[in-house]
Structure 1
Amino acid sequence: MVGVIRLNENLERQAQAYFEELFVVNADPNWPECTLSDIGSIVAGGTPSKSKSEYYADQGIAWITPKDLSVDKSKFISHGENDISELGFSKSSTKKMPAGTVLFSSRAPIGYIAIAQNELTTNQGFKSVIPNENIGTSYVYFLLKNLLPTIEGMASGSTFKEISGAGMKSVPTVMPDVNIIQLFNNFCEPIFKEQEILEAENRRLSALRDSLLPKLMSGEIDISSLDI
């Protein structure tokens, strides 16, 4: 598992370095100023009433909370601890978002970032970004990482800091040349695919370890005769 994690981290560093090269170090001063709302659609979430068990399902609509991202540090996410039912979806303010949406936790804490592997929803602790067609997921993912200090600085609140929907939409950035964005997305595409595969392999190995370790500890599986 350690080797899988290190390989994944190395791929992440490659993509991060290329983003900084294209959009930070060699940023064109003539790129026009814009806001995040020009980069993609900003989508908030919602929570069905916890007192209505029928609003939740074992295998329903994927519903993500910041806690899910605190437990699972993966870059890609398909489901959280709980799913919601179609009824729960219809009775809440949450919205369905397509695969490729970049999830961004907007409070408690600000700045968990993950990519939706499939259609899903979130609770109100997110201000997620559905990338515009000519922008793409890879660029938005690293852009949000780069903008995190700015977003944190725009957050407000006495109990805990939160960035509002209006605040998220107004986060200042620039609009790079679309050909440069496409160059970056093309570079990232095989990297992101490999990272998805590596994360799936890491989850498989973790599940195997978790199922075997108790049996080894209890003696249910005897390895004393193995020639190691």
Structure 2
Amino acid sequence: MVYNENLKRNIPEGWNDGIFADIANITMGQSPDGSSYNETGKGEIFYQGSTDFGIRFPSVRMYTTSPTRYAKQGDILMSVRAPVGAVNIANSDCCIGRGLSAINSMIGSITYVYYVVHYLKVRFDNLNTAGTTFGSITKDELFNLPVVVPSNDVIERFEVICKPIFNKQMEIGFEIESLDKQRNELLPLLMNGQASLNYDLAYQTSFFFLNSIVRSIACSCMDFISLVRFISSRNNAFTLLSAV
């Protein structure tokens, strides 16, 4: 380890200090004309800020017919307004507003850049805890944030080990998103009597997979599994539903 004057800490020998713009392509968001906003699916998906963020992917609430700044599927979305540093991943091409930045890798490792962004969020959180509140971060401030830059061989080895894990997390994230959508569609049908239980599908493998995943997804009143258990206690089986 050697002491680095710019970073004010020890770093591995052969590593360098740099700025965030040395390792990442950064696009700052810009909000389209307000008259172009709609909730009917016209135009491009639009994310204004971290209020659209989920656990890993943002939720689609708004569209715009006059997109200005874009993020590509797989780009890291980072909030540049309070709470600065909140992170999601774009699950499709989209337009980003002034509350967000879109980030991808310049060094061939999106996984390394992703965890650098998480490290920066921890720094912002620590500063907030210490009383230095970040209401926003400017383009110049974001571009010039000091970071440590490993040697190329370390980045390559990191990518080999971590990229499969990162990809699996993405895959599971998409599955959870899909199941979450199904749950939200199925609950109203069960509750208003538009759907009933189908005994023939009771023990299908797909149902138990759905059971295990959705069990972990919170619902404000009653989650899907609790509701199925409640109904199945009167039908003597765990079953999926079929339309009436």
- Which structure has the bigger radius of gyration? 2
Higher relative contact order (CA 8 A, sep 6+): 1
Could you tell me which amino acid in structure 2 is paired with residue 190 of structure 1? P
SS in 1 for 2:159: helix
Task: Give the alignment partner of residue 173 of structure 1, picking from 147, 159, 167.
Answer: 147
Aligned residue for 2:235? 226
Whole-angstrom distance in 2 between the partners of 1:188 and 1:146? 16
1:76-114 deviations in Å (ceiling 9; x for gaps):
45x7321222xx12xxxx422333321110112112112
CA contact (8 A) 1:105 1:128 kept: no
Moved over 6 A (4+): 54-57
Whole-angstrom distance in 2 between the partners of 1:56 and 1:214? 21
Aligned residue for 2:32? 48
1:198-222 deviations in Å (ceiling 9; x for gaps):
1222122222222222333334444
Instruction: Report how far residue 55 of structure 1 moved.
Output: 8.1
Aligned residue for 1:23? none
Aligned residue for 1:140? 113
Matches within 5 A, 1:1-228: 27-50=11-34, 52-53=35-36, 58-65=41-48, 66-69=50-53, 72-74=54-56, 76-77=57-58, 80-85=60-65, 88-89=66-67, 94-132=68-106, 134-151=107-124, 153=127, 161-223=135-197, 226-228=235-237
Instruction: Report how far residue 59 of structure 1 moved.
Output: 4.2
Query: Relative to structure 1, is the Cα distance of residues 194 and 208 closer, same or farther in structure 2, using a 3 angstrom cutoff?
Result: same
Query: Relative to structure 1, is the Cα distance of residues 125 and 217 closer, same or farther in structure 2, using a 3 angstrom cutoff?
Result: same
SS in 1 for 2:166: helix
Instruction: Report how far residue 186 of structure 1 moved.
Output: 2.0
Could you tell me which amino acid in structure 2 is paired with residue 143 of structure 1? V
Whole-angstrom distance in 2 between the partners of 1:117 and 1:222? 33
CA contact (8 A) 2:73 2:91 kept: yes
CA contact (8 A) 2:38 2:62 kept: no
Could you tell me which amino acid in structure 2 is paired with residue 83 of structure 1? Y
CA contact (8 A) 1:107 1:161 kept: yes
- TM-score relative to the length of structure 1: 0.70
Structure ranking higher in helix proportion: 1
Query: Relative to structure 1, is the Cα distance of residues 46 and 209 closer, same or farther in structure 2, using a 3 angstrom cutoff?
Result: same
Aligned residue for 1:10? none
Aligned length: 188
Instruction: Report how far residue 173 of structure 1 moved.
Output: 0.9
Query: Relative to structure 1, is the Cα distance of residues 54 and 80 closer, same or farther in structure 2, using a 3 angstrom cutoff?
Result: closer
Could you tell me which amino acid in structure 1 is paired with residue 27 of structure 2? V
Query: Relative to structure 1, is the Cα distance of residues 55 and 175 closer, same or farther in structure 2, using a 3 angstrom cutoff?
Result: same
Query: Relative to structure 1, is the Cα distance of residues 116 and 182 closer, same or farther in structure 2, using a 3 angstrom cutoff?
Result: farther
CA contact (8 A) 1:35 1:169 kept: yes
SS in 2 for 1:110: coil
CA contact (8 A) 1:61 1:121 kept: yes
CA contact (8 A) 1:32 1:174 kept: yes
Structure ranking higher in strand proportion: 2
Aligned residue for 2:210? none
Aligned residue for 1:3? none
